[in-house]
Chain A
Amino acid sequence: DGGITQSPKYLFRKEGQNVTLSCEQNLNHDAMYWYRQDPGQGLRLIYYSQIVNDFQKGDIAEGYSVSREKKESFPLTVTSAQKNPTAFYLCASSIVGGYEKLFFGSGTQLSVL
């Protein structure tokens, strides 16, 4: 079945540590996105990528980094510069020209030890 796979489901970060969240899709979508969701809040855009080897900052990119070396993969690194990383992280993808119909993964819950 086609879809988006996020791993791990739960992740714990120690102080000063960088952690990487995985996002893989087999939908053949060109565009991919990372969102952050805090409890009781909406989703906030961290980074997005329209094509391989290109990505753009979203509304809250500080303390995060991404790469897009393959069409299928869009990993997100939460760096030690992100002082409040505890949140639910969602990856999504869409086709070119169909940017309003997003397909989401099941999310990664990141917590700080």
Chain B
Amino acid sequence: DAKTTQPPSMDCAEGRAANLPCNHSTISGNEYVYWYRQIHSQGPQYIIHGLKNNETNEMASLIITEDRKSSTLILPHATLRDTAVYYCIVRVAGGGADGLTFGKGTHLIIQP
């Protein structure tokens, strides 16, 4: 699986858009980008994933650059409940059941 790089922490004001970057410069053509988040003392929660097109669901939007070497997770109107650690993971879809690799992620703090 390709390696990802994320900033260790970010702040965002409540009500503003939170933009979380992820660098994955060694991504392969068949690898997807997955995002999870983990609220303190809870298990991680799946947010969204994509291959090369931008994706949107009820939780967030995922923007992947044309060269696919980086991506941005966007929380359009951040609330205090969005304070969490966000993980960016690159992985071949339909790969083996050998688990995902969760790095340290980005600790997003939403300020009131």
A residues near B, CB below 8 A? 4, 31, 33, 35, 40-43, 45, 48, 50, 56, 58, 88, 90-92, 94, 96-97, 99-107, 109
Contacts and interface: CB of A to CB of B under 8 A. Distances in A.
**B43, B49, B102 pick with most chain A CB within 10 angstroms:** B43
A100 B100 contact: yes
B35 to A, nearest CB: 11
B87 A104 contact: no
A63 B43 CA distance: 23
Contact of A101 (B42, B46, B102, B105): B46
A94 B93 CA distance: 13
A42 B105 contact: yes
Question: Binding site of A, secondary structure by majority: helix, strand, loop or mixed?
Answer: strand
Across chains A and B, which 3 residue pairs bring their CB atoms closest together, nearest first? A104-B43, A43-B102, A45-B99
Contacts of B34: 100-101
A101 B104 CA distance: 19
Contact of A43 (B44, B93, B98): B44
B59 interface: no
B95 interface: yes
Given A102-B100, A104-B43, 17 more contacts: A35-B102, A42-B102, A42-B105, A43-B102, A48-B97, A48-B98, A48-B99, A58-B98, A96-B97, A99-B97, A99-B99, A100-B49, A102-B36, A102-B44, A104-B44, A107-B43, A109-B41
Question: Binding site of B, secondary structure by majority: helix, strand, loop or mixed?
Answer: loop
Contacts of A56: 98
Interface of B: 32, 34, 36, 41-46, 49, 87, 89, 91, 93-105
Nearest to B46: A101
Contacts of B43: 4, 90-92, 104-107
A29 to B, nearest CB: 10
Nearest to A90: B43
